[in-house]
Amino acid sequence: MKSFLIFLFVTVLFAKDAEQLTNAQRQFSFKLYSQLSGEKNLVYSGRSLHEALAMVLAGARGKTAFELERALEVAPLGNKVPAAYAQLRSVKKPDDPAPFTLSVVNAGWLQRSFPLSPEYQNLLRENYRSEFFSVDFAKETANARKAINQWVEKNTGGKIKKLVGPDTVKKDTRWILGNAVYFKSSWQFPFDKKLTKPGTFFGPRKRRVPFMNQMKEFSYFEDETVRAVTLPYKGNRLSMTLILSKQKEIDWDAVHYSDVKGKMTFQMLRLKVPKFKFQSDLRAKAALQKMGVHTAFGEEADFSGMSGKKGLAVSEVIQKAFIVVDEYGTEAAAASAVMMFGASGALEEKIVDAVFDRPFLFVIEDSQTGEPLFLGRVASP
């Protein structure tokens, strides 16, 4: 009985750590949104960037680790971040084949003969299920880039091509950590393609675009400032929430988003949403610097937890992301890389018109784990 109680207590602790981690992912994702959003279309996976940077954090020490912990919102977890990620990956999968495709994978590319410590490699393998590849950045730079891009393309359903180029992977590159996320699912309630009609979208400039139409009960909230709806994917585990700011653009954060989500109730809607398809190519270094990450990019960087000594620094953090939303569902993919170099209801009820014909925020999330998989902004579908 005593051993059972101990096991139960440890399980509860792990579950609490995983929940704390998903809250950190959400906060980090919205902090990035405040740095990246503008008047253009945007899609990115804060989830992907968070895990890639968490693997970097595992090898950081001193001030470098302190700044990364604060930016990633994981300071309360301390050294339990890797175990919390392992807990997320151990979430029970459905017995039957899932009605969606969701893949999150990690990899590292290491300069031949570079002294990455066995302890650090084992930590990444055990907690992040990362695989490792030996390449020669110094003498076969083009081949190293090709190997990385092939891995990315394979693990994003062929949607993300040429993540890294000559401007990011160079002869002095020593270590690259990568993360790829791929998602594809049908809507729980698909739109009838015959009801898709052209309409006006009031973005930075007015455009005629195809709008999907449906009358059904969805989780919904509206007040004088926002209009929000959650569209479930098949199986009801994953969903996309759309939030339109009615008066002016709102500085969204995780607390504000959760507040809106908490006020949503089921309502019969006459829903009108534009189809959209676009991709984003992000350089996150400047955004991370604004979020307090400084020493990781310079001579003061301390990643001695990776190799036992200083000498590594981050040169750039990049991500490419893709999304398509149509009558049948959603397909989205993202790949992130951290480059490191050697340095010194009934129809009689009230029906609400829910029209998303102006720029709006979207969030794709996993209700089982609480993870925010993709965030973005539709400015011009």
Domains of the chain, earliest start first: 2-185+278-342 (3.30.497.10), 188-276+346-378 (2.30.39.10)
pLDDT at 13: 44
pLDDT at 81: 96
Give the three-state DSSP class for 338.
strand
Rounded-to-10 torsion of CA 123, 126, 130, 132: 70
pLDDT at 10: 37
Token pair of 177 as six digits: 């950590």
Residue 324's H or E segment, with its range, is: strand 312-325
Q: What number of residues does the chain have? A: 381
pLDDT at 16: 86
- Neighbouring CB atoms inside 10 A of 253's CB total 16
Report, as ranges of residue numbers, the positions in the chain whose pLDDT lies below 70.
Answer: 1-14, 92-96, 343-349
pLDDT at 343: 59
Residue carrying structure tokens 């750039």: 316
Residue 112's H or E segment, with its range, is: none
